[in-house]
Structure 1
Amino acid sequence: MRLDKYLADMDFGSRKEVKQLIKNKRVTVNEKVIASDKFQVNEHKDQVTLDGEEIVYQKYFYYMLNKPAEVITATIDDFEATVLDLFSDQDFRSDLFPVGRLDKDTEGLLIITNDGALSHRLLSPKRHVEKEYLVRVQGIMTTVDIENIAKGLKIDKGEICLPAKLIIDQIDEQKNESIVRLVLHEGKFHQVKRMVYALGKEVIYLKRIRMGALALDEHLELGDYRQLTEEEVKLLEGK
């Protein structure tokens, strides 16, 4: 790999900017100053430093974020806070992006990465990756609702949802509320809210708690994030 690509991949600037860093003799490889941006490095064996600080090469980054409400699922916005605004300066990279989206008022599990291939696999309609949501509903969910959702619910605009799974966890008849979990295999626009509305009820609170085999870390506070472990990345990849 060329030295300028190595540095650019590690987000130390554009190819043009890192070429200047190298030209200014600020970069060493195996303790030798390198002034050529075309210099070939082995990203797995060679020791590369910038201004004396070692740079460990990592091609892909994977984060689990517990998204809070009032933050939009986007990389940049001129008016509202985005999920990437939650990242520290140390962890932020210009190539990070969220896998899929959660509505502004929805909380929970969101994967942030720079691995486009993994994102495509997770979002591909052909793969039907499960997504599980914790939902507080205004209204009493019933066994009839379970059956209707399992058959494939017809929502507004005549759309038919794929068969899904509804699990009723709690019923509070005094408050006229239900706590349920909904497992989907697709991602239509506002799907959970539209499905619940089609059943004559309303979503009060919505949180994604699982994507594929990866569950939200219960110790991760709202607005916090952490890197995924190798085992967790394998879970997302279905390995």
Structure 2
Amino acid sequence: MSADIEIDAASGSPEGVRLQKVLAAAGVASRRVSEELIEAGRVSVNGRIVTELGSRVDPEHDHVSVDGTAVQLDVTKRYVMLNKPTGVVSSLRDEQGRPDLRRWTDASEERLFNVGRLDADTSGLLLLTNDGSLAHVLAHPSFGVTKTYIALVRGRVAPRTIQQLVAGVELDDGAIAADKARLLPESKAGAGNSLVELTLHSGRNRIVRRMLDSVGHPVIELVRRSFGPLQLGALPIGETRHLSKVELGQLLTLSRSTDDPDGDEK
């Protein structure tokens, strides 16, 4: 990453692209408004506030933020949210011939791939992208990106069971605790069942199902409602949408705020 910002000068040929031009190309604002953002001290490059309109950046390596939110300068990158249905495996080609993600990825001109995985019998938010660097941060458990799930489980869940999930349970591959857990209104669960919302950052295999099974409440249905700052919202099952600029900025800000050590599965 370039740590320095090349400034336009009367002599010589400065490297890089003018900052306001880069911002406009990224869809932040028009070039004129981008200039106003720079002069107002709202734009930073590699963590440094830039106020000179002659500033130049390398779009391939420099990190640019506006009001503290990261901007994607590479316009070839794509970010698509999918509400994955149950019965679909999180693979671009399933060797067993089961329904896979090609139904959605083949519709894109870019070669998209999934960030992490959801089990075939789990539905909900799955991110598709061609941004390998961001995918690495979001999918790898060492970065601690949180995910929130809503589980329909068998039996009436008691408040002490919710407390137990947060305090931690012992599984065959070690102890695990939810970051947050709460019991949702019984009226939405149906007779004899409960709805539990769990937030955690673990990437262990089928961890939500195993945690709830360990406290005596097997999962009937499981859906992932959030992934990092992304919220599934009202996106219908089986449908996709491109991330908004706000959502993308939040994701990029999250990924750039992490240190880079070296999947994700429920």
Tell me if 1:75 matches 2:92. Answer: yes
What residue number does 1:106 align with?
122
Q: CA, structure 1 residues 108+85, in 2 after alignment: closer, same or farther (shift >3 Å)?
A: same
1:7-61 superposed Cα distances (whole Å, 9 cap, x missing partner): xxxxxxxxxxxxxxxxxxxxxxxxxxxxxxxxxxxx9xxxxxxxxxxxxx83211
1:156-195 superposed matches below 5 A = 157-171=172-186, 175-195=191-211
Q: CA, structure 1 residues 174+228, in 2 after alignment: closer, same or farther (shift >3 Å)?
A: closer
Using the TM superposition, give the Cα deviation of residue 163 of structure 1 relative to its aligned residue in structure 2, in angstroms.
4.0
Alignment gaps of 5+ in structure 1? 1-42, 44-56
1:228 alignment partner AA: L
Does the aligned pair in 2 maintain the 1:99–1:112 contact within 8 Å?
yes
Where has structure 1 moved over 4 Å in runs of 4 or more?
none
In the alignment, the residues of structure 1 paired with residue 115 and residue 252 of structure 2 have an alpha-carbon distance, to the nearest angstrom, of: 13
Using the TM superposition, give the Cα deviation of residue 88 of structure 1 relative to its aligned residue in structure 2, in angstroms.
5.5
Using the TM superposition, give the Cα deviation of residue 146 of structure 1 relative to its aligned residue in structure 2, in angstroms.
1.6
Does the aligned pair in 2 maintain the 1:152–1:164 contact within 8 Å?
no
In the alignment, the residues of structure 2 paired with residue 112 and residue 150 of structure 1 have an alpha-carbon distance, to the nearest angstrom, of: 30
Using the TM superposition, give the Cα deviation of residue 144 of structure 1 relative to its aligned residue in structure 2, in angstroms.
1.3
Of all paired residues, the percent bearing the same amino acid is 33
1:1-239 superposed matches below 5 A = 58-78=75-95, 79-87=97-105, 89=107, 91-93=108-110, 95-155=111-171, 157-171=172-186, 175-218=191-234, 220-238=235-253
Does the aligned pair in 1 maintain the 2:147–2:200 contact within 8 Å?
yes
**TM-score of the pair, normalised by structure 2:** 0.63
1:72-127 superposed Cα distances (whole Å, 9 cap, x missing partner): 101112411212323463x253x311100000011110000011111111123332
In the alignment, the residues of structure 2 paired with residue 166 and residue 145 of structure 1 have an alpha-carbon distance, to the nearest angstrom, of: 10
Secondary structure of the corresponding residue to residue 121 of structure 1: helix
**TM-score of the pair, normalised by structure 1:** 0.69
In the alignment, the residues of structure 2 paired with residue 88 and residue 59 of structure 1 have an alpha-carbon distance, to the nearest angstrom, of: 17
Pairwise CA RMSD of aligned residues? 2.2
Secondary structure of the corresponding residue to residue 237 of structure 1: helix
| Alignment coverage as a number of residue pairs | 181
